[in-house]
Structure 1
């Protein structure tokens, strides 16, 4: 865990986004950071390996961060834009995937206009042409030996790093977006778009244009998503009342918070919290 701006220990930034069912033991996930030279393009790699009994399903629900993803599995190879609602992947049978969580600024660098990919995904070959097909083949070749071994998984992410290096360096707008998102995600006192504008010396119109172009999102969405991530983390701890949590997250009242949480996750805060009882 790492502290938030108020000094409290907080979950890993992936764990607070993953609305995991604590009773689900159908998968194992390896996670690690990129090589230092790719810090501006990659937040982390994650490699799930799963084994779901025949006829059963294991849905994985995630409140995605404002980033694009690249995922190569044993059955598909895709580029994902940001999912503005709840992202759900249903695992069946036995399988594996090698995932890349890009930085906020990287999506636009790779695709030109990341806004066209909001709430969409496509095969790598459609997005990147032959270059995407090359990446798919390289990852599958590396994972062929034994997908469950970390050495195999790291060999696969090494192939992805080699592929991504051709896009370096990140441009100035990409660095600015990375800084803006980090500011919103790590400072829970940020509850208004005007605070972002003041911190980065931008007009609201300039900020809106920048986030639309490089994230496919609005600044307001960034703030709401941070609040919901924090809510999911706090609800796991099952401490305090919903009214106090809503107040801590700067909601006008408990009803507004409950409505936001249920609209995006499909669960009431009480139902989500009860899973961790």
Structure 2
């Protein structure tokens, strides 16, 4: 009998941190994280605000096993709306800089972009381009965020003002439509149900046929239900692999993999790292 995924495991990391495939030896950055105001919780999951200082001639690659949501990121040099990445999303940090990152809810990508989110899968668009991001005045938001953050991006009051600016820009999208609330609930169920391993179980839970579920997820998050379930398992794996006492075979079994080889193949395809290689960073 397969043990339900993650049974008996309680993580001390938050949902953003465990998806960040960080090298613990990299001390070139710090990240402030916070939740949204309650009234925009249907649109925004989390804020994260990294500040980095990378020595001259060096670079710091940040790889994230992204959640099934679109992201808005405004930095001192760029402003983008990101679709979901099937593998990992990678950003290379150099010099000094900062960013205001917004992890949207599954419902919000379609509302911000005005198109089926599958068109954004594995790509990003310029936040200031109103033809690509019609629902938000990205140029105005970018300018105001840079004005607030540039003097001191580590200042908590500047970070709070930046959050307020983003939330004010998104509030006109409320209330979230019925389909959006459904996709929020679907994704939340997958992410909080470690024993869920099959698409038919998800269909039964929400009273949807598999084709209807496929269409809904491709429209609102850009990828299908099998990917959604597999991504949750891999994020849980990345979390578990940080534990120096965890064994690969045990993790594979508890996440519902038939064997360790299957687990290793899945993890390497998604992250570019073997589970053992990732775990070695924390030993």
* TM-score, normalised by the number of residues in structure 1: 0.96
- The runs of at least 4 aligned residues of structure 1 exceeding 3 Å deviation read 4-8
Return the alpha-carbon distance in structure 1 between the equivalents of residues 6 and 66 of structure 2. Answer: 21
Q: What residue is the counterpart of 1:265 in the other structure?
A: 271
Which 5+ residue runs of structure 2 have no aligned equivalent? none
Name the Cα RMSD after superposition.
1.4
Specify whether residues 44 and 176 from structure 1 end up closer, same or farther in structure 2 by C-alpha distance, changes over 3 A only: same
2:19–2:67 Cα contact (<8 Å) kept: yes
Map 1:40-79 → 2, pairs under 5 A: 40-79=42-81
1:137 aligns with 2:143: yes
Q: 2:216 aligns with which of 210, 215, 221?
A: 210
Structure 1 counterpart of 2:17, from 15, 18, 25 = 15
2:241 aligns with one of 235, 245, 263: 235
Contact 2:52 2:98 in 1 (8 A): yes
What number of residue pairs does the alignment pair up? 274
| d(CA) in 2 for partners of 1:100, 1:235 | 26
**1:91-127 CA-partner distances (Å, limit 9, x unpaired):** 0000000010000111111112211101110111223
Task: Give unmatched runs, 5+ long, in structure 1.
Answer: none
Per-residue deviation at 1:6?
A: 4.4
Higher relative contact order (CA closer than 8 Å, sequence separation 6+): 2
Secondary structure at the counterpart of residue 31 of structure 1: strand
**Contact 2:6/2:236, CA 8 A, preserved across alignment:** no
Between the aligned partners of 2:15 and 2:8, the Cα distance in structure 1 is 16
5 Å matches for 1:108-257?
Answer: 108-112=110-114, 113-126=116-129, 127-128=132-133, 131-257=137-263
User: How many angstroms apart in 2 are the aligned matches of 1:267 and 1:79?
Assistant: 26
Instruction: Please state whether the residue corresponding to 2:137 is helix, strand or coil.
Output: helix
Larger mean CA deviation between 186-195 and 148-157 belongs to 148-157
CA contact (8 A) 1:79 1:123 kept: yes
